[in-house]
Each structure stands twice: as structure tokens, then as C-alpha cells.
Amino acid sequence: MPATPPADPARRAGADARRRARCGPRGVGTRGEPRVPVAWHPGHMRREISGLDVHTSHADVAGRDILLWHHGSPQTGAILPPVHAAADGRGLAVVSVARPAYAGSARIPGRTVADVATGLRPVLDALDVASVISVGASGGGPHALACAVAMPERVRAVVAFASPAPFTGGDAWFEGMRAPGGLRAATEGEHARRRFAETDVFDPAQFVDADFAALEGEWAGLARDAGAAEADGPDGLIDDDLAFTRPWGFDLADVTASVLLVQGERDRVIPPAHARMLASALPSATVDLHPDDGHVSILRHLGTALDTATA
């Protein structure tokens, strides 16, 4: 996607927002802009449980089957409208938790992917949910998988959209990423990753036309929420990148739940090779490839993916 505003007047008005949009592990958003409301729906509830900032689609989710939403990097954990709609249409409540260092969740320096999943157990215990469909988008994908190992008795299926695979230690892991600077810096440690954050600039070529269309349409709230997350500072995104490029703290071979890996073949943030790497390491995984989708537009298949996961 060109960095200059498109010629079409209908799209020109949103060009600046598109260029600044942050969604997924590699974008860079706006600083200092007014924050969007955390609650996107009048029925949503926000509370603190075990030091974590917890959002639920209903005041009481006890005994409910839930969609446990693992947000991308960076996000606040607020329940986005398309997530609520997809879950509600299938009889699921939504629980979404800001990872440590995002929004109101306290930072845990050195956290692993597995640490985040373990930290969600007391949240789900307190909410007394019945069962979980663990769903992650981009940076939420590894955490969705980790929950299946941390809570196998609760997690009945996993859906991961555009999820990175465990770091292999070589350049091949970065192939196909348009802007892997943050992840490359993370491999050199926290100090290097923080230095990178000081000059990080969003590269609009990470997204394809379908991504920008999604951000101007049904998933517009995702970009606004990412801007709100960035206003809290870079710690959450930095800690995510560090966790992705270090041992995750669990073995993919221990994921016993069925896993659906939904991936856009045009994704320039997390390329399709990562879905194939994950599938080769998971005991029961299906790869659902979509030739016309990029990193954001792949989320339009959320409803269909839930139908598959709950069948």
C-alpha cells in the first residue's frame, strides 16, 4: 500500500489514520491522541481480577461457554464489536484480558507466553466459566495455544489468526515479514528492543488493500484500540516481542485440543510459513488458508472459524 493518500476521494479522508494504524505485532500507531472508550458495548463489564484488566461481554458469565479472546500486539483488551457479534451469534460469552503491561494489567518483566496463560487460570476460576474456545489474533495466537496446555480441562478448541510460530533462531523465521525490525531487535534483548521503539515508524506496505478495507469497515475499532494501547507506552508490545523470540515455556506437542490456524496468504506481517510451522508441530491442527487476505482482513473469517471450532 503506498504511503501517500490514495486518489479515491472516498478513501482519502481516512488515509492518515490508515497510515498510522497499529494492528498486529509490527505496526506503529499514534501517540498522544484521545483515547477511545474501553467499553464498546453498553453491556460490557470491566473489572480487575488477580492484577489483570478483565473485560466480559456480560455482567455474569458463570456457567457460560466462552470465547476467550487473546488480543493482538498492541491492544487494550477491550472487546471489539465484531468479536462480540461473532460470539453472541453462536451462544458464547466473551472474556478478554489485557496481557501484563497493557491497559490496567500490571507489568511482569521477563514474562513468557506460558506465564500469561497460567495467569489466566485464576481469572477464569473467579468468573466460574464452563468451557473455553481460546481465540487469538496475531500476537494473541501463541497465548491462545498456551491456554490449551495450561488449562486442558477447560479449553475445548483453539483458533489462531495469523499467529507467529516459535522462534527458530535463524533468518528463515523472518522471511516474508515486511517490517521485522522489532522482532529482530528483541532477539538481542530488552535494551535493544527499547532502543528500536524510540525510532519505530509504521510501514504501510505491511498491509494489503484488503487490510485497509477491513480497518475502514467492520474492524475500524481495532485500529482505534491499538492507538489507545500505544498511549499507555511501549512496555506491552516490547514484552510481547521478547516473549515471542524466546522459549515460549511450553511444548506445542502438548496442545491436545483441536487447533484451527486461519491465515491470509497475502500477510506481510506474519507470513503463511508460520502457519505451516505451527501445523507441523501441533498434534491436531488444520490450516485454513485464504488467498486474498492479509494480516487484518483475515479476521473477517472469525464467524466461520467459530462454527468450525464448535462443530
- Domain extent for 271: 37-310
Q: Are 93 and 65 in contact (CB under 8 A)?
A: yes
What's the number of domains the chain is made of?
A: 1
Domain assignment present for 23? no
Domain assignment present for 193? yes
Residues 6+ apart with CB under 8 A from 233: none
- For residue 15, give Cα distances in angstroms to 19, 99, 147, 179, 295: 6, 30, 37, 20, 18
Domain assignment present for 31? no
Q: Are 264 and 238 in contact (CB under 8 A)?
A: no
Query: pLDDT tens per residue, the chain (311 residues)?
Result: 222 223 222 222 233 333 334 344 444 333 333 344 444 577 799 999 999 999 999 999 999 999 999 999 999 999 999 999 999 999 999 999 999 999 999 999 999 999 999 999 999 999 999 999 999 999 999 999 999 999 999 999 999 999 999 999 999 999 999 999 999 999 999 999 999 999 998 899 999 999 999 999 999 999 999 999 999 999 999 999 999 999 999 999 999 999 999 999 999 999 999 999 999 999 999 999 999 999 999 999 999 999 999 99
Domain assignment present for 28? no
Phi-psi region of 233 (alpha: psi -120 to 50; beta: other; left: phi over 0): left
Domain assignment present for 239? yes
Domain assignment present for 172? yes
The whole-number pLDDT of residue 41 equals 72
Block residue for cell numbers 522462534 = 167
CATH number of the domain encompassing residue 125: 3.40.50.1820
For the entire predicted model, the pTM comes to 0.89
Angle (CA) 209-215-217 rounded to 5° is 100
Neighbours of 253 (CB within 10 A): 10
The separation between the first and the last C-alpha atoms of the chain, rounded to the nearest angstrom, is: 37
The whole-number pLDDT of residue 40 equals 58
Domain assignment present for 242? yes
Domain assignment present for 8? no
